[in-house]
Amino acid sequence: MTFRDTVGLALRNLGQAKLRTSLTTLGVSIGIASLAGMVSLGVGLQDQFVDRFTKSGMFDAITVLAGGDLPGPLAGGGRGRGGGPTPFGRRGGGRAAGAAATENSRDVNDAALAELAALPGIRTVYPNVRGAVEVKFRGASEFAQAVGIPMVIRGEGPFQSIPYGRFFTSDTEDACMLSLDYAKRMDAENPGSLIGQTLTLNYPIARRGDAGAPSGGMAMSGGMAMPGGIQMPGGLNVQRAELQCPIVGIVERETGPFAAGGGAAGLMLPLGKAKAMYEGSPQAAAALLRDPTRTSVTYPSAVVRVAKASSTQDVEEQIKKLGFQAFSLNDALQGAKRAFIILDIVLSLIGSIALAVSSLGIVNTMVMSILERTREIGIMKAIGGSDGDIRRIFLIEASAIGCFGGVSGVLLGWLVGRVINFGANVYIQQQGGTPGNLFSLPFWLIGGAIGFSIAVSLVAGSYPASRAAKLNPIEALRHD
């Protein structure tokens, strides 16, 4: 028998038992719909997670610190890259006068920023600048951290959507932006009304010499206002400076400890304005006094943005080879992806239960078909049909059921996913959340589901096909 004749005969046999074939195909469809729906949920959740955090600008950013200054548990127990303990007086940016710079004590200054920007795969580099300021508004005042925001992140992360006002027009604009939570502390009823109003920012500046500070001067220590003395060690006088900042924009959210990496903070200034404030701060002046070899202001850290998030790890290694400490959230992203892979496997195993049950229906259908067509099989063998021809007929019947069931199951799974996604998004919006696509059905999942359906059907039909091929033609012809 030719392959075409075998296919035609198999399809004709399926058509002779339409109800039984339809019910078996429906069982396969439900199994595939369950499998595809479960996996598409896992894929959709992974896409939502990765997309949200990638757009936030957290996974394409690398935080760079001076060599040996990696904070907290990332510092490796206070040891430098060479493995030895950091000598006293060399941590926190301080160095003994005249000490030679080593690989583990590279500063993050303007020259270092230019060197980092020259690395391949870098999109932009900017310093992480923040400082304590006193904020005055409507007769009240409090201390807050002002964070410098570069112009290059306009339209990215938290700044993709600005519900009130606008972004900065330049790096030196006398203006500020607020997070929505910070703005609600000033006007809970109508935070948008703050646009155009002015905040008064008081901050300390350090000057050399013995001249006294103007009235109201205060010494700053660790970002806290210390009333009284104005003289600091090294001949520095600390004076109060004042800046009038109109509020030009309010962003919806802030990103906590990663705000300096380009996310929103409570109080934001243009980076150029923040740098000017930092360069005149007592902290920056004191750092220069502690180390006379320094010729420029050093920054606590810098942020390196890569052109592609996939190259974050490679760029991070290049930065470490230059003698800086660097870390990013890329490792956390990879760990999250591995967790989602495990989730997809678990969901696919759960969805496969229904498909395993439907495979029993295929076995039952094929066995019943053998009992009904025993005499027909005997006639086919009597006129020259081989065991292989009989086996192929039944396997093609099983694969046809799997193919039809797989295609209809994918469509059913997609339809059910759309309905559930619509209902879930309605609920999410009612709770004030952001709607999204919870189910994702990529082409590889469609093809994989249909192929898996055919494979399971072939396995389920192998026993009936082998049983039919082994029938004795003489006994089969005697069968009523």
Task: Give the pLDDT of residue 375.
Answer: 77
Task: Give the pLDDT of residue 94.
Answer: 43
CB atoms within 10 A of CB 6: 17
Could you tell me the residue range of the domain that residue 193 belongs to? 130-289
Task: Give the pLDDT of residue 229.
Answer: 40
Query: 187 and 77 in one domain?
Result: no
Query: 137 and 280 in one domain?
Result: yes
Task: Give the pLDDT of residue 79.
Answer: 40
**Among 289, 319, 351, residue at a domain's last position:** 289
CB atoms within 10 A of CB 54: 14
Q: In the chain, how many domains are there?
A: 3
Task: Give the pLDDT of residue 88.
Answer: 36
Strand pairing class (224-226; 301-306): unpaired
Query: 160 and 112 in one domain?
Result: no
- Residue identified by tokens 């396969």 is 28
Query: 409 and 443 in one domain?
Result: yes
Query: 137 and 205 in one domain?
Result: yes
Residue 43 lies in a domain: yes
Task: Give the pLDDT of residue 293.
Answer: 67
Query: 33 and 161 in one domain?
Result: no
Residue 36 lies in a domain: yes
Residue 161 lies in a domain: yes
**Among 259, 289, 319, residue at a domain's last position:** 289
Query: 259 and 151 in one domain?
Result: yes
CB atoms within 10 A of CB 8: 13
Residue 294 lies in a domain: no
- Residue identified by tokens 């969805």 is 351
Q: Are 116 and 179 in contact (CB under 8 A)?
A: no
Per-residue pLDDT of the chain (480 residues; tens, 9 = 90+): 677 777 887 788 777 778 888 888 888 888 888 888 888 888 888 887 777 666 655 667 888 888 654 444 344 434 444 444 444 344 444 444 344 444 445 788 888 888 888 888 888 889 888 888 889 988 888 888 888 888 888 877 778 778 889 999 988 888 999 988 888 888 888 888 999 999 999 888 876 554 443 333 333 333 333 444 455 555 567 778 888 989 999 988 654 444 444 455 788 999 888 888 888 777 777 776 676 666 677 888 888 888 877 778 888 888 888 888 888 777 667 777 788 888 888 888 887 787 788 788 888 777 777 777 777 777 877 777 787 888 888 888 888 888 998 899 899 989 988 898 888 888 887 876 677 788 888 888 888 888 888 888 888 888 888 888 787 777 767 665
- The pair phi, psi for residue 292, each rounded to 5°, is -65, -20
Residue 361 lies in a domain: yes
Tokens coding 171: 């790096």
Task: Give the pLDDT of residue 248.
Answer: 92
Query: 105 and 48 in one domain?
Result: no
Task: Give the pLDDT of residue 74.
Answer: 40
**Among 258, 289, 320, residue at a domain's last position:** 289
Query: 86 and 42 in one domain?
Result: no
* 388 SS3 class: helix
Residue 34 lies in a domain: yes
Report the run of H or E that residue 347 belongs to, with start and end.
helix 330-372
> Could you give the C-alpha distances from 257 to 49, 147, 263, 266, 337, in angstroms and in order?
19, 12, 9, 11, 23
Q: Are 121 and 307 in contact (CB under 8 A)?
A: yes
* 328 SS3 class: strand
Query: 341 and 315 in one domain?
Result: no
Task: Give the pLDDT of residue 105.
Answer: 59
Task: Give the pLDDT of residue 257.
Answer: 40
Query: 308 and 441 in one domain?
Result: no
Residue 346 lies in a domain: yes
Q: Report which DSSP code applies to 75.
A: G
Residue 384 lies in a domain: yes
Query: 67 and 43 in one domain?
Result: no
